[in-house]
């Protein structure tokens, strides 16, 4: 198979990355071989491919769509995500087109509170906003720049298994003509998002006892709100038309800095309204109650349709490694149950998968390599297991509107408590040498039994 993309150096130079094998008996087959295949070029897949390529692995990144492409998301990046961008060598300056934010504005219970991102050694003190239209394109280009080979318009339809049921490659359909193709490698990473077609083909279904959310979002032109330097989060959504009735979700409003805002809301499966609500109507109901000068009540200001998707949370698909297949990001249900952010966890798990792949592939195939690969789910649980356990409990609690109302009413008026809550919800602490809040949160996540 020939390569459609031009691999280039990290500075965009343009040198081929795959060494030409010396003596090819069957070029058509051997050209498809790589050390690892990564399925899906979202943030998780591109991060995995970038770090693998940086570790010297020959990596194929397969993506069913073509960049740039729209992706349903809030487009909000906390300092945790910024850290991962820095680790991929991305220039996150305002000059490079990034909208910077200073923190989170929380609105609810009649209170409006601005909380700056914490000052930490481990994370920067700012967040970012950037549409996924070019965010994902940019990350895929970083992976290609590091040496990964990207094939777009390749829709992976299933795994190729060896006689023992181990994944040794993937089957796919390429291009508009859906030409059948096959790629082979000793290791495959599923970074195929919430649908998780590849893990599903191995029988890895979502766990019904772990949280999931549904969220919708829409872009609007809003000169009044587009340059907001805080991410805004609404803990209570009300419909004026329905007599100020409380709606069952949580909303956001993020300025994009280009005259537009990303506005959306999410509902958790712990809420009685989950699956029984017209989410699109709920969004417009909420927005009709916002000030007229924001422009969100006027259909003429809408920049595109209302689109929605699911948020798989708290490890809702496991195991994260089995039979030659590693799960990264949404494919492994890694959205943070506390705040619905999934991008940093996708990128972090992608980086971890790359580190473990490097060690594993340096060993001969067999039990020794397998031992190295089995470290991946163990390390994921060690990093996030306790935190996600607390998050899963949190989701169950706030699914009850009375608990949410009580927490909003009694929590929001206390800024110190809310600074603690921000650190907890955004998972932003220093593991060592932090302040008292960091120590409490770190201790809580350590004692909570890992999911």
Ligand X SMILES: Cc1cc2nc3c(=O)[nH]c(=O)nc-3n(C[C@H](O)[C@H](O)[C@H](O)COP(=O)(O)OP(=O)(O)OC[C@H]3O[C@@H](n4cnc5c(N)ncnc54)[C@H](O)[C@@H]3O)c2cc1C
Contact status, residue 60 vs residue 38, Cβ threshold 8 Å: yes
Q: Report d(CA 244, CA 235) in Å as an integer.
A: 15
Element (H, E) at 261: strand 260-268
Sign of CA dihedral 134, 135, 136, 140: positive
Q: Determine if 7 is a binding residue for ligand X (CB under 6 A).
A: no
Cβ-in-10-Å burial (0-12, 13-18, 19+) of 424 comes to: buried
State in angstroms the smallest separation of the CB of 378 from ligand X: 20
Binding residue count for ligand X, defined by CB under 6 A: 38
Residues in region 76-105 near ligand X by CB under 6 A? 76, 81
Residue ranges in 127-166 that form contacts with ligand X under rule CB under 6 A: 155-156
**In angstroms, what CA-CA distances link 110 with 70, 199, 350, 410?**
35, 45, 40, 11
Task: For the CB of residue 159, give the shortest distance to ligand X in the complex, in Å.
Answer: 11
Query: What minimum distance in Å lies between the beta carbon of 343 and ligand X?
Result: 3
Distance CA 348, CA 179 (A): 33
Stretch that binds ligand X, among 26-34, 38-46, 159-167, 356-364 (CB under 6 A): 38-46
Pick from 320, 331, 357: which is nearest to 50 by CA? 357
Site string for ligand X, 191-210 (x = CB under 6 A): xxx-x-x-------------
64 in contact with ligand X (CB under 6 A)? yes
Q: What does the DSSP assignment read for 32-101?
A: TB-SEEEE--SHHHHHHHHHHHHTT--EEEE-SS-SS----S--EE-HHHHHHHHHTT---SGGGT-EEE
In Å, what is the CA distance from 88 to each residue of 157, 248, 433?
29, 38, 26
Q: Tell me how far apart the alpha carbons of residues 397 and 161 are, in angstroms, rounded to a whole number.
A: 42
**Positive or negative, the Cα torsion across 266, 269, 270, 272?**
positive
Find the residue with minimal CB distance to ligand X: 342
In a 3-state reduction of DSSP, which class is residue 245?
A: strand
Minimum distance from residue 409 beta carbon to ligand X (Å): 26
Choice between 42 and 257, CB closer to ligand X: 42
Nearer to ligand X, 38 or 369 (CB): 38
User: Of the two residues 131 and 408, which places its CB atom closer to ligand X in the complex?
Assistant: 131
For position 62 contacting ligand X by CB under 6 A, the verdict is: yes
Stretch that binds ligand X, among 56-64, 113-121, 274-282, 416-424 (CB under 6 A): 56-64
CA 133, CA 281: separation in Å to the nearest integer?
A: 25
Chain residues 212-231 in contact with ligand X, contact rule CB under 6 A: 215, 217
Q: How far apart are the first and last CA of the chain?
A: 42
Among the listed ranges 33-41, 85-93, 381-389, 434-442, the one in contact with ligand X (CB under 6 A) is 33-41
Which of these ranges, 72-80, 315-323, 367-375, 410-418, lies near ligand X under the rule CB under 6 A?
A: 72-80
Query: For ligand X, which stretch binds (CB under 6 A), given 101-109, 188-196, 241-249, 397-405?
Result: 188-196
Binding mask 332-361 for ligand X (x = CB under 6 A): ---x-----xxx--x---------------
Q: Find the part of the chain contacting ligand X (CB under 6 A) among 19-27, 71-79, 202-210, 374-382.
A: 71-79
Residues that bind ligand X (CB under 6 A): 39-45, 62-65, 71-76, 81, 155-156, 191-193, 195, 197, 215, 217, 264, 309, 311, 329-331, 335, 341-343, 346
């Amino acid at each position: 198979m020939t390569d459609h993309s031009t691999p280039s150096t990290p500075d965009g130079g343009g040198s081929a990355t795959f060494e030409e094998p010396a003596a090819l008996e069957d070029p058509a087959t051997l050209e498809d071989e790589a050390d690892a295949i990564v399925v899906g070029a979202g943030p998780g897949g591109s991060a995995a491919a970038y770090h693998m390529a940086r570790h010297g692995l020959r990596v194929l990144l397969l993506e069913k769509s073509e960049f740039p492409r729209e992706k349903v998301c809030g487009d909000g990046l906390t300092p945790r995500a910024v850290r991962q961008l820095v680790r991929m060598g991305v220039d996150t300056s305002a000059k490079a087109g990034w909208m910077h934010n200073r923190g989170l504005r929380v609105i609810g219970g009649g209170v409006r509170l601005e909380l700056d991102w914490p000052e930490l050694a481990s994370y920067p003190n700012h967040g970012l906003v950037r549409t996924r239209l070019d965010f994902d394109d940019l990350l895929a280009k970083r992976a290609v720049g590091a040496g990964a080979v990207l094939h777009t318009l390749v829709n992976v339809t299933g795994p190729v298994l060896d006689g023992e049921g181990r994944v040794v490659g993937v089957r796919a359909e390429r291009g508009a003509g859906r030409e059948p193709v096959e790629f082979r490698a000793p290791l495959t990473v599923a970074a195929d998002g919430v649908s998780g077609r590849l893990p599903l083909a191995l029988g890895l279904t979502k766990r019904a006892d772990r949280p999931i959310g549904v969220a919708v979002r829409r872009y609007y032109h809003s000169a009044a709100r587009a340059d907001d330097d805080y991410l805004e989060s609404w803990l209570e959504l009300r419909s004026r038309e329905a007599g100020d009735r409380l709606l069952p979700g949580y909303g956001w409003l993020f300025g994009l800095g280009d005259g537009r805002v990303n506005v959306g809301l999410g509902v958790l499966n712990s809420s009685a309204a989950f699956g029984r609500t017209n989410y699109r109507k709920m969004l417009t109901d909420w927005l009709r109650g916002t000030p007229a000068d924001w422009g969100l009540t006027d259909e003429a200001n809408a920049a595109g349709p209302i689109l929605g998707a699911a948020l798989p949370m708290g490890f809702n698909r496991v195991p994260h490694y089995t039979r030659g297949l590693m799960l990264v990001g949404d494919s492994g249900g890694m959205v943070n149950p506390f705040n619905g952010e999934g991008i940093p966890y996708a990128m972090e798990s992608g980086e971890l998968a790359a580190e473990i792949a490097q060690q594993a592939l340096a060993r001969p195939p067999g039990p020794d390599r397998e031992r190295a690969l089995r470290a991946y789910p163990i390390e994921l649980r060690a990093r996030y297991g306790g935190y996600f356990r607390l998050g899963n409990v949190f989701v169950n609690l706030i699914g009850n509107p009375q608990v949410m109302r009580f927490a909003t009413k009694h929590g929001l008026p206390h800024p110190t408590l809310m600074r603690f809550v921000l650190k907890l919800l955004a998972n932003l602490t220093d593991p060592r040498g932090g302040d008292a809040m960091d120590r409490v949160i770190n201790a809580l996540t350590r004692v909570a039994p890992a999911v």
